[in-house]
Amino acid sequence: MRIISGVVAALAAYAGGSAAFNLNCNANYASYYGQNSARSQKTLGEYCKDAIEDVIILAFMNGFPNVMLNFANACETTFNGTAILHCPSIATDIKACQKGGKAVLLSMGGAAGSYGFLNDADGAKFADTVWDMYFRGKSSQRPFDDVVLDGIDLDIEGGGGAGYAAFINQLRAHYRSDKSKSYYIGGAPQCPYPDAYLGAALDSAWFDMVFVQFYNNYCGVDKYPTMFNFADWDGWAKTKSVNKNVRVYIGVPGAPSAASSGYIDGPALATIYNAVRSNYTSLGGIMTWDVSQARTSGLATSIRATLNAASRCSGSSGSGGGSGGGSNGSDLESVASTTAGGASLSVTVLNLAVALSMTGILSYAMF
């Protein structure tokens, strides 16, 4: 058993150390964290101990320009005399996630909150605030202390659409001032095209990736193949997006209780993902709402296995037009790619390690 256990341990180490977010792959897995949707949310650090997710999106900054944050049970302390959350434990976990090759974004908006801009000037001004609070700027109230996030996600579900393009343009100007790493702009539109709130910004400002919510709507994954409209979003990516290399993610609920409608199981999702991958080059991967739901239901493990078997990457791992001149991590093209003859050995090893870790075999004691 020592030999077998030693091999398994090596596989676990390989899986934990080789996963690094690469914007240019079509097999990234993004998941939202912070709202305890399944009522079983663990610390962020627990979810970052393995190679399941590539992108963690913190949810939410649900108030702006008057800043308000909500991470449910993950953070409840505030700066003295304010209502702004101060989250040193999450800060420590973010660093661990980033060290493991994961990108960590902060999502602005959500289904509930008080947010929105009056005009472009309002949006541009708030971009300065965001840079100071979460990136390389300086502020006396930094919710994650000295952490430098990897980007911002816009999940705008109310409050109008004014000012978001100006916000993105100003934030990207700040991004370019730091050549040490890559930064990202994400969005989370509803699947009906064009999006009611983010549509104007999607057509006029740079996005690196969009996590389209293919659920709670007539165009969701549960309506595949008749009404599922990834083709509309691929068309947007190639003809209207400022960034013609923007990546479009298939956003799904992590469990039946994660959304009003739209949940499908792992095999059904794999069928849709593989069909999209075969037909649309804008595909970036899969997104789930949220990590607590997807981990509890087991969908996260199924997604990871599906993605590992299919990954293709192009170019460097940094943000194309984005933002900062550095690279976000090692190029997954040599770690998780497929060849004409089938999945590479490294993908097989990673799949095995992930599967073993999820079934508990990796914890088997050596004796």
Helical H segments across 135-198, by residue range? 164-176
Which two structure tokens, joined as six digits, stand for 73?
């049970």
Is 68 in a helix, a strand, or coil?
Answer: strand
Using CA atoms, how far residue 61 sits from 46, 113, 278, 293, 323, in Å, is: 22, 9, 36, 20, 22
Catalytic residue among 46, 53, 76, 157: 157
Q: Which amino acid is at 121?
A: A
Which two structure tokens, joined as six digits, stand for 200?
């104007």
Helical H segments across 102-212, by residue range? 120-134, 164-176, 199-204
Using CA atoms, how far residue 247 sits from 171, 216, 217, 236, 309, in Å, is: 19, 22, 21, 11, 19
Distance CA 137, CA 158 (A): 28
Phi, psi at 109, each rounded to 5°: 115, -125
Using CA atoms, how far residue 221 sits from 112, 228, 252, 253, in Å, is: 24, 6, 7, 10
Known catalytic membership, residue 76: no
Phi, psi at 48, each rounded to 5°: -95, 10
Within 13 A of 245's CA, how many CA atoms are on the CB side? 13
Using CA atoms, how far residue 289 sits from 32, 183, 293, in Å, is: 6, 22, 7
Helix or strand holding residue 104 (H, E) = strand 103-110
Is 177 in a helix, a strand, or coil?
Answer: coil
Which two structure tokens, joined as six digits, stand for 253?
């609920």
Q: Which residues are catalytic?
A: 157
